[in-house]
């Protein structure tokens, strides 16, 4: 007969505890920053990880909020120290996710959202098997160009560099588990939130359970 001890043992054995690393990647102007901000506002289980980068701040960006803007020497030192959970060189600049902060949040049961590039995403999946990888795409190439132009922060050569990176990134799509089309912001956020809930409701894999 079922009693509370048996019930609690089953819960502990099969349900997942703690939070999850959620990677959101997209080619340039895919809208991941906007989607991530809206997701965090609407879902209190989600927290954004703030990356370190060696690129210069864009107008309006704040140190410690958008990124930690650091020099290349310090970044390389931190790579050697194992400070990063993952890191990559994107558009000739270094970007990396600080490990300790993300791990503390995971322990608190938070879903840690990493808006990072595809190389970083693949590193995360290699080291954290239950990380959830979501690829975000604008609804069309035409819309993508429109969004890049609207942003207007990049010079022509910088836009071209981003487009050639985007072509390479698109090839990595099969390494991801989910594809979300960012047509309507609200719909994209609802889908991502649903994906995270579904992932966290999965029964613990037999190997993990023992
Ligand atoms: P941006 O300079 O436009 O903010 O970002 C350029 C690219 O770097 C984007 O694809 C962004 O997702 C990626 N990125 C930002 N932070 C990180 C990070 O910590 N790690 C990795 N691997 N990529 C990042």
- In this predicted model, what pLDDT tens digit does every residue of 81-106 receive, in sequence order? 999 999 999 888 999 999 999 999 99
Ligand 1 pocket, mutate which of 28, 51, 99, 175 (most atoms under 8 A from CB) = 51
Is 51 close to ligand 1, i.e. is its CB under 6 Å away? yes
Question: Tens digit of pLDDT for each residue in 128-149?
Answer: 999 999 999 999 999 988 888 7
Which residues constitute the domain of residue 176?
Answer: 16-208
Gap between the Cα atoms of 32 and 136, Å rounded: 7
Band of pLDDT at residue 206, cut at 50, 70 and 90 = low
Quote the pLDDT of residue 139: 93
Residue 92 lies in a domain: yes
Distance from the alpha carbon of residue 44 to the mean position of ligand 1, in angstroms: 23
CA pair distance 112, 131, nearest whole angstrom: 10
How much is the pTM? 0.91
Residue 6 within a domain:
no
Q: How far apart are CA 60 and CA 102, in angstroms?
A: 25
Instruction: Tell whether 1 is covered by a domain.
Output: no
53 closest CA partner among 85, 25, 93: 93
- Ligand 1 pocket check for 117: Cβ under 6 Å: yes
Q: What is the CATH number of the domain that holds 45?
A: 3.40.50.300
Classify residue 11: in a domain, yes or no.
Answer: no
- Which of 116, 121, 163, 166 for a ligand 1 pocket mutation test, highest count of atoms within 8 Å of Cβ? 116
Residue nearest to atom 14 of ligand 1 (CA): 116
Instruction: Give which of 56, 39, 37, 65 is closest to 153, Cα–Cα.
Output: 56
Residue 164 CB neighbours (<10 A): 11
Residues 162/154, Cβ–Cβ less than 8 Å: yes
What are 138-185's pLDDT values in tens digits?
999 999 888 887 777 778 887 888 888 889 999 999 999 999 999 999
- pLDDT above 70 for 207: no
Asked, for residue 152, whether it belongs to a domain, the answer is yes
Position 83 in a domain? yes
Domain count, the chain: 1
Assigned domain for 46 exists? yes
| pLDDT, tens digit (0-9, with 9 covering 90-100), for 8-47 | 999 988 988 778 999 999 988 888 999 999 999 999 999 9
CA of 68 to the centre of ligand 1 (A): 12
Q: DSSP H helical segments within the chain, as ranges?
A: 4-14, 32-42, 72-81, 99-107, 118-127, 141-151, 156-171, 185-200, 206-209
In a domain, 31, yes or no: yes
């Amino acid at each position: 007969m079922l009693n509370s001890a048996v019930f609690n043992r089953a819960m502990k054995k099969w349900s997942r505890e703690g939070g999850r690393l959620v990677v959101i990647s997209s080619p340039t102007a895919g809208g991941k920053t906007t989607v991530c901000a809206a997701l965090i506002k609407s879902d209190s289980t989600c927290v954004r990880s703030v990356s370190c980068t060696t690129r210069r701040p864009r107008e309006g960006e704040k140190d410690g909020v958008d990124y930690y803007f650091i020099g290349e020497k310090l970044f390389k030192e931190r790579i050697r120290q194992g400070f990063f959970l993952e890191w990559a060189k994107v558009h000739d600049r270094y970007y990396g996710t600080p490990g300790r902060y993300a791990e503390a949040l995971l322990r608190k049961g938070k879903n840690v959202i990493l808006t990072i590039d595809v190389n970083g995403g693949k590193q995360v999946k290699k080291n954290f098997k239950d990380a959830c990888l979501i690829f975000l795409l604008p609804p069309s190439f035409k819309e993508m160009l429109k969004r890049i132009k609207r942003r207007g922060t990049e010079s022509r050569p910088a836009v071209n560099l981003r487009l050639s990176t985007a072509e390479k990134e698109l090839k990595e799509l099969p390494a991801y588990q989910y594809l979300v089309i960012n047509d309507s912001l609200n719909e994209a956020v609802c889908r991502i939130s649903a994906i995270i809930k579904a992932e966290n409701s999965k029964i613990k894999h037999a190997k993990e359970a023992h």
